[in-house]
Every structure is written in structure tokens, then in C-alpha cells.
Amino acid sequence: MKQFEHHDALSIEEAVALLSDYEGKAKIIAGGTDLLGALRDEVFLEYPEALINIKTIDGLDYIRSDEKGLAIGAMAGLADIVKSPVVKKEYQMLAEAAYSVATPQIRNMATIGGNLAQDVRCWFYRYPRRIGGPMVCLRKGGKFCSALAGDNRYHSIFGAAALSDISLDLGKVRKGCFAVGPSDIAVALIAMDASIVTTKRSLPAELFFKATALSSTVLDSDELVKEIEIPKLPMGAVQRYDKFTLRKPIDFAVVSVASMLTLNNGVCEDARIVLGAVAPEPVRARKAEQVMKGRIVDEDVALEAAEHALAGSSPLRMNEYKVEIAKVLVKHAIWG
Amino acid sequence: MTANKSDRVTRETAATRHVGFTVNGQYHEFRVGSGGIEISPTHTLSWTLREVLGLMGTKVSCDSGACGSCTVIMDGKAVLSCKVLTIECDGKTITTIEGLRDPKTGALDPIQQSFIDHTAFQCGYCTPGMIMTAKAFLNENPQPTEEEIKDALSGNFCRCISHYQVIRAVMSVVEKEGEHGR
Ligand SMILES: Cc1cc2nc3c(=O)[nH]c(=O)nc-3n(C[C@@H](O)[C@@H](O)[C@H](O)COP(=O)(O)OP(=O)(O)OC[C@H]3O[C@@H](n4cnc5c(N)ncnc54)[C@H](O)[C@@H]3O)c2cc1C
Ligand code: FES
Ligand code: FES
């Protein structure tokens, strides 16, 4: 790895101060499972001058539950989340999403904060610099997204993230980055209507993920995720996290679906359905949710919702199959 | 009063920073810097173990966190030494494959012996990682089911398809332990 300076932060305030001292040229290191790979392969447009270690901050790894819901510190480990009795019992979608991440060793090291803030996994972007030089994609100052011409089997089926965050109709943007949001936890948190608390604000998970071709979240360069808050789930809520991959351990999702259905005598009172790995950000299938409300859930409703969830998708040359997989997962989420 | 950058940076870098940790029962302390025997902030634990401490048993294969061959036990947990910065190991207790042998009698760990008895390897490159992962897992869960063993070892890849023998080797340790317990 190329040189960087290294600081152990002892408090959140110190970490934030260090980040602002470096004026955007320092990065937080939590578990390091994502960051160290990106540093080794030199994929960042600008190599960081310093790493700020936040493992040295005490008391950020809690998992606490009370009558309002669950609060998880940003440094809580994925393995601890999977093992937590209260998560397993009341928030099993989160346990399933966390368990689906990578491998046992990585879950021993990885944190939930790092999972939410991780960088995209597009194979053009992540191509190691030392093997024949970098692939200069849009994220690295190139003119267009390499996935447009190259192998795009794992890329977005819902359009690209624009270079800057000027909001454009995602379906039509061609000049943008087609990498998909990689985080499994993100998808589950949106389905559970969680909030993300940072050092600057608290906002619904849905608004935290905001993809541009330069970043995947709203985080400023001197902002940290502090806590994740999940409200107590409604009585009778049926939660589920499904992830389609080629190999079970290690692989990132080809498509994932997190769902929370509130049923009363078979009638759908509320539904939240979120698709992962189909777009630069997790996608909430609002139309699918709406068509279910007030109806008795059966196979036809599930099929109808699945069609709505994928309406408006615009697959690339090699990833039309993802549309079919996503439909099947949505259908499964609703009707077994 | 809030410290300014130079104060903060001085506290850590100029006041010669040290990193000290225990590997296989032996304490090592290094100065942080760029000299021959110093630890650079960019050094990974796998690099330090192999190139500085000469513990070649820990293998680096993918160097990307994706194969498990560099697994060591740190404070009781199986972690990937290629995804750990040495500078962040201050105060840690680390066990590598070289540290499994009984220090007094020299006897191999039952898992090591079982791998030999079951020929649970071909080229052997993935083997230290497999054994360290299994060791950490059995410490936590001495009587697992076969499914639980498969799950625990799901982050360890073998190019030579030794997986079947590996599962048998670990299961056999579990069965023997079970007999002793009875
Ligand atoms: C082989 C492999 C397979 C993987 N598979 C999956 C998978 O299937 N699903 C999945 O979701 N992920 C996967 N990952 C990504 C995995 O690294 C993340 O899931 C992990 O949770 C990242 O956490 P970390 O603590 O290691 O983050 P780090 O690597 O320490 O940090 C990641 C990024 O987040 C930033 N960051 C960290 N903490 C904070 C914070 N509190 N506030 C603000 N920014 C922060 C860092 O600056 C960095 O940019 C995989 C990784 C590998 C190597
Ligand atoms: S060498 Fe560390 S996981 Fe492959
Ligand atoms: S024995 Fe050769 S890689 Fe596993």
C-alpha cells in the first residue's frame, strides 16, 4: 500500500476534528474490510493522506433494545449483530441480512457503520491499479461508465447515478455510473424504516443512501455514522431478507429483497418492499406496496406486486436476467 | 480548549509511537516509522507476521479478504490478517499456526493431528487458515453439528478440493472430544 498517516481517535469529537483538519483527504477506518482492499488496489480518485482509526473509541459497539426499538452503535460488529438474541428474536431481517454478508471471518471484523458507508464493488472501478494500470471509469475521472461497453451482468437495471447529485430522471441518465449499491444491511434497514444518526443529522435510512458517481451516501467528508435506530416493528409484521448469489458465502448480492408485511387476518395493512443490487441505491418498490394494501394477500397479488416492482426497469445488454430474478424474489417475499 | 491539528498530530507521531502485541505467547514491541525493523502504518498483520517475525505458516493467497488462507486468531476470534493493519494491533493477543503446538510437550494440536490423519489437504496452502478458523470455532463451540462446521469454514477456500476431508477431520476431533467428555 502507498503511504498514509495513521491516527487513533479516542472520541467521536476527535475523529471529526481530525477529518476536518485533513480537509477531505483523510478516511475513517472501522473494520477495514472494505477500505483496505480499496487502498491496496488504489481505486480512489485521490489516495487518502491519513486514516483515522475509530476502533479506539470506547462504547460505540452497543446493541440496545427498549420499548421504542433497537439502537445499534456504528461500531457494532456484524457477527455480534447476527448473534444478538434480541436481533434474532425481534428483528430477524437484520440478523439475516448481516449473516448474508461475506464470510465468518469478515463478519468478525466488519462493522455496521462501515457496511453502510462502504464503496461500490463494480469490477471496473475496483480493478487493481498494479495489474496493468487502472481502468479509468467515470468514478476515476473517465468520460463514461465502463459498464456501458463492457461486461455489465452485475450492474444497474434502473439506470445510472448522475455524476453530481443534480436530480435527474434515473431511468434516462446514460451519462452516469451503473454500479449498484453493495450493502446488504442498507436494504434491510430501509424495509424496517430505520433512521441513521450521524454527527450532523438524523435521517431516515431511505434518504441516507444517495448515489452519485462519486459517493453512495449523503455523508460529508467530515461526517461519521454514530448510530442506527430501528423502531419497534408493528405487531404481526412478517419480515424477510432474501439474497440471490451464485456462491452462498462471500458473494455480493446479484439481487436482494427485504420486505416487511403487516397482515391482519390475511389482509395487507402495510407493506414495505425494498430491492437491493438493482440500482445505485436501494430501491423502494412503492407501487408494489400500494397495490397490496387493503387486499387479501394471495399468489395473484404477489405476482401483480412483482410486476409493479420491476416496472420501469431498463436493463443493460447483459443483465436482463436480473429483472426476472428480482420478480421471483419479490413474489417469494409476499407469497412464500 | 480544543486541540488544533498540530497538537493532535504531535501527540501521536512525533512522540515516537510504539505498537506492542503478543504472538504465540511472545510479546513484541515495534516503533512506528519507515526504518528496517519499524512498523509502517501501511503494513498488514500478515506482512508483519511473515516478513518481520518470520512466521511463514500464515499464508497470503488473495490478499483481498476473500479466501481465508491468512486467518489467525486475535483475542479469541478468527480474523483475516491481510485485512488488519499491524499498527492497530496494540495490546492484542494473536495466535498463528506456529503457536498451536503444546509449548511444553511439543505435541501437535488435536486439530493439526486430525488433518494429518485424514490427509485433509493436498498442496497445503489453505491448511493453516482452515486449522486456525476451526480452532477458534471449536474453542467457542466444542460440540458443533456438521452443518455448523461447514458454516464456520465457509470463508476458507481450497483450490485442491480438500473440503470434504477437512470436514471429516474437524468432525473427528469433535467426536473424540465428545467421547472424552462422557
Ligand atoms: C470478500 C468480501 C466479501 C464481501 N461481501 C459483502 C456482502 O456480501 N455484503 C455486504 O454488504 N458487504 C460485503 N463486503 C463488504 C464489507 O467490507 C462490508 O460489508 C463491511 O461491513 C464493511 O465494514 P468495515 O467496518 O470493515 O468498514 P471499513 O472498511 O472500515 O470502512 C468502509 C468505508 O466506510 C467508511 N466508514 C466506516 N465506518 C464509518 C462510520 N462510522 N461513519 C462514516 N464512515 C464510515 C470508511 O471510511 C470506508 O470508506 C465484503 C467484503 C469482502 C472483502
Ligand atoms: S489472503 Fe487474506 S483472505 Fe485471502
Ligand atoms: S490444499 Fe491446496 S489450496 Fe487447499
CATH number at residue B108: 1.10.150.120
Interface test with A, best of B1, B43, B88, B149 (most A CBs within 10 A): B88
pTM for this structure? 0.95
Q: Is B52 exposed, middle or buried (0-12, 13-18, 19+ CB in 10 A)?
A: middle
Cell of A174: 446514460
Q: What CA–CA distance (Å, rounded) separates B94 from B82?
A: 14
Judge whether residue A173 has pLDDT over 50. no
Whether residue B6 lies inside any domain: the answer is no
Average pLDDT (A163-167) is 56
Half-sphere exposure of A2 (CA within 13 A, CB side): 13
Amino acid B43 reads H
Whether residue B121 lies inside any domain: the answer is yes
pLDDT at A247: 85
Q: What CA–CA distance (Å, rounded) separates A83 from A79?
A: 6
Ligand nearest the Cα of residue B59 is: 2
Domain boundary among B84, B99, B114: B99
Angle at the Cα of A79 (from B39 to A204), degrees rounded to 5? 100
DSSP, collapsed to helix, strand or coil, labels residue A234 as coil
Average pLDDT (B104-127) is 97
Judge whether residue A167 has pLDDT over 70. no
| Pair (B83, B117) in one structural domain | no
Ligand nearest the Cα of residue A216 is: 1
| Pair (B24, B72) in one structural domain | yes
What is the residue range of B144's domain? 100-182
| Pair (B72, B40) in one structural domain | yes
Q: Is A164 exposed, middle or buried (0-12, 13-18, 19+ CB in 10 A)?
A: exposed
Q: How many A from CA of B54 to the centre of ligand 3?
A: 22
pLDDT at A166: 46
Q: Taking CA atoms, what residue in A is nearest to B90?
A: A56
pLDDT at B6: 54
DSSP, collapsed to helix, strand or coil, labels residue B47 as helix
Cell of A319: 443483465
| Cα-Cα end-to-end distance for chain B | 64
Cell 486439530 -> residue: B111
Interface test with B, best of A61, A80, A103 (most B CBs within 10 A): A103
Q: What CA–CA distance (Å, rounded) separates A228 from A196?
A: 5
Q: How far is A19 from chain B (nearest CA, A)?
A: 10
Cell 461447514 -> residue: B150
Domain boundary among B58, B73, B99: B99
| Pair (B89, B110) in one structural domain | no
| Pair (B36, B91) in one structural domain | yes
Could you tell me the CA-to-CA distances from B21 to A156, A248, B34, B48, B98 in Å, in that order?
45, 35, 19, 12, 16
Whether residue B156 lies inside any domain: the answer is yes
Q: In B, residues 72-131, which contact A (CB 8 Å cutoff)? A: 77-80, 83-85, 87-88
DSSP, collapsed to helix, strand or coil, labels residue A101 as coil
Q: How many A from CA of A116 to the centre of ligand 1?
A: 7
pLDDT at A249: 83
Whether residue B8 lies inside any domain: the answer is no
Whether residue B7 lies inside any domain: the answer is no
Q: Which residues, other chains included, contact A240 with Cβ-Cβ below 8 Å and sequence gap of 6+?
A: A93, A96, A257, A258, A259, A260, A333
Q: What is the complex's ipTM, to 2 decimals?
A: 0.94
Residues of B within 8 A of A7 (CB-CB) are 8-9, 12
pLDDT at A171: 47
| Pair (B114, B165) in one structural domain | yes
- pLDDT one-digit tens code per residue, A71-120: 999 999 999 999 999 999 999 999 999 999 999 999 999 999 999 999 99
Domain boundary among B42, B68, B99: B99
Q: CA torsion A114→A119→A123→A129, rounded to 10°? A: -100
Q: What CA–CA distance (Å, rounded) separates A109 from B130?
A: 17
| Pair (B175, B125) in one structural domain | yes
Chains A and B form CB pairs within 8 A to the count of 92
DSSP, collapsed to helix, strand or coil, labels residue B145 as coil
Whether residue B133 lies inside any domain: the answer is yes
Q: Do B9 and A5 touch (CB under 8 A)?
A: yes
Q: What CA–CA distance (Å, rounded) separates B129 from B82?
A: 12
Whether residue B33 lies inside any domain: the answer is yes
How many structural domains does chain B have? 2
User: Which of A104, A249, A250 lies closest to B78 in CB terms?
Assistant: A104
Q: Which of A248, A8, A208 is nearest to A113 (CA)?
A: A208
Q: Which atom of ligand 3 is nearest to the CA of B61?
A: 3
E strands, chain A, are: 5-8, 26-29, 50-53, 63-65, 69-73, 161-162, 176-177, 195-198, 202-204, 225-231, 237-244, 255-264, 267-276, 283-284
| Pair (B84, B108) in one structural domain | no
Q: How far is A309 from chain B (nearest CA, A)?
A: 33
| Pair (B58, B114) in one structural domain | no
Judge whether residue B12 has pLDDT over 60. no
Ligand nearest the Cα of residue B58 is: 2
Judge whether residue B19 has pLDDT over 50. yes
* Residue A243 phi, psi (nearest 5): -135, 120
Whether residue B164 lies inside any domain: the answer is yes
Average pLDDT (A220-225) is 97
- pLDDT one-digit tens code per residue, B80-107: 999 999 999 999 999 999 999 998 999 9
| Pair (B40, B85) in one structural domain | yes
| Pair (B33, B104) in one structural domain | no
Cell 463494480 -> residue: A122
Mean pLDDT, rounded, of chain A? 94
- B119 Rama sector, left if φ>0, alpha if ψ -120 to 50, beta otherwise: left
Average pLDDT (A308-320) is 97
Identify the CATH number of the domain in which residue B54 sits.
3.10.20.30
- pLDDT one-digit tens code per residue, A189-202: 999 999 999 999 99
User: Which of A5, A32, A105 lies closest to B85 in CB terms?
Assistant: A32
DSSP, collapsed to helix, strand or coil, labels residue A16 as helix
**What confidence tier does A213 reach under pLDDT thresholds 50, 70, 90?**
confident
| Pair (B112, B85) in one structural domain | no
Q: Which atom of ligand 1 is nearest to the CA of A245?
A: 8
